[in-house]
Amino acid sequence: MRRGLRLAGLAGLLGCLLAAPLLGAPRATARAAPLAAAPTLAAAPRVVRPGATIQVTASGLTAPPGAVLCLGVLGPGRNVELGIAPAFRLRVGTIAIGANGAGSAAVTVPGELTSGTYRLIVGGCAPQPGLAPLAALAATTLTVVGPTAAPPPPRLPATGGLPLPLLDRALAAAVLLTAAGIALRRGARRAGRRAGRARSARRGIGGD
């Protein structure tokens, strides 16, 4: 009995000695992997006129090195989704993505865009040429303002011909000439009547 208790005590002591290094060892803590940055897209400038050139920069994209993605514009507003005219979904260019998931490209704003706010997107190229990406990996906004209104051209009369200012002058000159002609004809008639009366008077005097 005593021998059994001694053996049990020795076993307990040996177990404590073996467990001590393990209890004193620092515990390994699991570290969470850093979150990848969300894809972003930027344009400069962001307020443009149709036909202007902008610089587009993308970052945080997950794509094979050397991948080429497409850029497109949707809008104005939510007209594309709502089926309201005018609605544009146009491809405006491509952008090459480097090993760091970033890239930049210069693109031209389509000249047919009307004034309004558009979404500039980047994504895989649609199979239809000229169509914006069907799914956006990143997006930003782009405001298009209308071109400065040009002065209206000179108006022409309905039958064509001279501009109105010149036509008005020509009409005024024609009226003056017509009035002068009428006055001359009236003066000639009056002079003729006076001459006739003078001849009649001379004949009466000669007869006497």
Contacts 24+ apart (CB under 8 A), 76-83: 76/113, 76/114, 76/115, 76/116, 76/117, 76/118, 76/144, 77/116, 77/117
How do strand 103-108 and strand 88-97 relate by DSSP bridges?
Answer: unpaired
The model's pLDDT over 5-22, given as tens digits with 9 standing for 90+, comes to: 454 555 555 555 555 554
Q: Which amino acid is at 62?
A: T
Contact 88, 131 (CB under 8 A): no
The model's pLDDT over 150-199, given as tens digits with 9 standing for 90+, comes to: 556 666 555 555 555 666 676 777 777 777 777 777 777 777 777 777 67
Find out whether the peptide bond into 86 is cis, omega within 30 degrees of 0: yes
pTM: 0.56
Contact 100, 58 (CB under 8 A): no
The model's pLDDT over 91-134, given as tens digits with 9 standing for 90+, comes to: 999 999 999 999 999 999 999 999 999 999 999 999 999 999 99
